[in-house]
Amino acid sequence: MAELSVRHLLGIKDLTREDIELIFETADHFKEVINRPIKKVPSLRDITVANIFFENSTRTRLSFELAEKRLSADVVNFSAGQSSVKKGETLLDTVNNILSMKVDMVVMRHSSVGAPHFLSRHIKANIVNAGDGTHEHPTQALLDSFSIRERLGQVEGKKVCIFGDILHSRVALSNIFALQKQGAEVMVCGPATLLPKYIGELGVKVETDVRKALQWCDVANVLRIQLERQGGDIAYFPSLREYSQEFGIDKALLDSLDKEIVVMHPGPINRGVELASDVADSEQAIILDQVQNGVAVRMAVLYLLAQKG
Amino acid sequence: MQQQVILGKELLQVTLRRLCQEILENHGDFSNSVLIGLQPRGIYLAKRIQQILKEDLGKDIPLGELDITFHRDDFRRRGTPLRANATNVPFLVEGKKVVLVDDVLFTGRSVRAALDAMTAFGRPEKVELLALIDRCYTRELPIEADYVGKEINSMISQKVNVQWEGVDGGEEDKVWLVLSENG
């Protein structure tokens, strides 16, 4: 089939393996487009996309906006900081107001789990989830898998370990779904306090020893330690320094393995905390490829959803 | 399925040779000219043309493959979505003479999209169109081919199929008209 099985991209959980493959195949073509001297195609010429961000974001929003513009869509941006949300307007009212101005697609980030799902039951526009609370961040997982496929040829059969704060991470959950659907093996590794208690139920391996995890995997996807989530009432680990000593990945550690693994990071990196600079800037790291692929993958998602109308 | 053969293997070969002679008349040694085949079906014809020109000129003519899926004017308007194909244009068309190659010229909309898609690769000095089959009186846009293999009269509801040996399990080069799906 040349079309997706869904009208909205709410989470990887709703996608089929064929959907993921179609997105990647389409993203291959868009990657060629964005590397041309003129990086634009007119596909979404008559479509208006609203980027609605109730939570801060720099790169995801920039990446979506570039993807939309490279497809020639009209783009409106909205962030909660400057909006009537502060004045007490409900989510549905806010979005309905925006849609009354004839918007065809909504890209939304929200701090509440399920906010885009709720919206999809009430409005007509196609919705792309750009992150809902600690639940899913589907386009990030897609671009991660796309980058693995690009570097290693395929995702199927590969061993991927996700490091860091799994408890608060929507990137981790979406990645687990995406990788499993494509036939990869998944492990999570981090301090026990940052691993959800029943994460093993998803069929992933659980490890608390970084060296063992690195030795096992082909790809290390290192997540950011979300400093804003630490230091509240609950302390998940004693100090950043201790975290980096126990769980930080540096070049010496990677060189001590008997194989060369691929290192990924969704950004922004806390240099010297979860990832040392000598790894982040090495040939093994495909962090900047991920960023470039992000635009191509988001173009594919927007294009294929727009096609569904 | 009722069919009528338009060009058989031998005649098709003669037609291809004639088309190449016509191109050579206008492009000489091809020093400033390139071929661009339209995806998905025009690229096979373009490869044949390139092959024959190579025999005559003793060199490879630059050949690009252009996909027009993202430039179509019926996005969200057509019933069945199209799968995109690869674009591979390994040169800039800036200042070049371009021969666009497609197997069947029908409504002209693909060619319009191709002209649009090509702007991403520069401003050509001149663009010409080669079509193996020209379906007369079916055009929806003011577009005509410079080099035509064969003109045919057909109804909109009919379909022209072009098969190439070795492509998608095709046994021999052949062009035929499908008169009706059930008859």
Q: Does domain A12-136+291-308 have CATH number 3.40.50.1370?
A: yes
B134 and B110 Cβ atoms separated by less than 8 Å = no
Each residue's pLDDT tens digit, A135-160: 999 999 999 999 999 999 999 999 99
Each residue's pLDDT tens digit, A11-23: 999 999 999 999 9
- Distance of alpha carbon A189 from alpha carbon A273, whole angstroms: 15
Residue A85, pLDDT score: 66
In chain A, which stretches have pLDDT less than 50? none
**Residue B145, CA atoms < 13 Å, CB-side half-sphere:** 27
Domain ranges of chain A: 12-136+291-308, 138-288
Q: pLDDT tens track of chain B, all 183 residues?
A: 788 899 999 999 999 999 999 999 999 889 999 999 999 999 999 999 999 999 999 999 999 999 999 999 888 887 788 889 999 988 889 999 999 999 999 999 999 999 999 988 989 999 999 999 999 999 999 999 999 999 999 888 889 999 998 888 888 888 989 887 664
Q: Reply yes or no on whether A58 is catalytic.
A: no
In chain B, the residue whose alpha carbon lies closest to the alpha carbon of A27 is B84
- Distance of alpha carbon B172 from alpha carbon A163, whole angstroms: 56
A187 and A204 Cβ atoms separated by less than 8 Å = yes
The alpha-helical segments, DSSP class H, found in chain B are: 9-27, 42-57, 109-118
Q: Reply yes or no on whether A110 is catalytic.
A: no
The hierarchical CATH code for the domain A138-288 is: 3.40.50.1370
Question: In b/e form, how buried is each residue of A49-88, taking b as 16+ CB within 10 angstroms?
Answer: bbbbbbbebeebbebbbbbbbbbebbbeebbbeebebeee
Tell me the pairing of strands A126-132 and A105-110: parallel
Q: Reply yes or no on whether A60 is catalytic.
A: yes
Contact B76 A26 (CB under 8 A): no
A89 and A77 Cβ atoms separated by less than 8 Å = no
Interface predicted TM-score (ipTM): 0.80
Tell me the pairing of strands B2-7 and B174-180: antiparallel
Does A36 lie at the interface with B, CB-CB under 8 angstroms?
Answer: yes
**∠ CA A218-A136-A28, rounded to 5°:** 60
Q: Does domain B12-73+81-156 have CATH number 3.40.50.2020?
A: yes
Residue B183, pLDDT score: 47
Dmax (CA) for chain B in angstroms is: 50
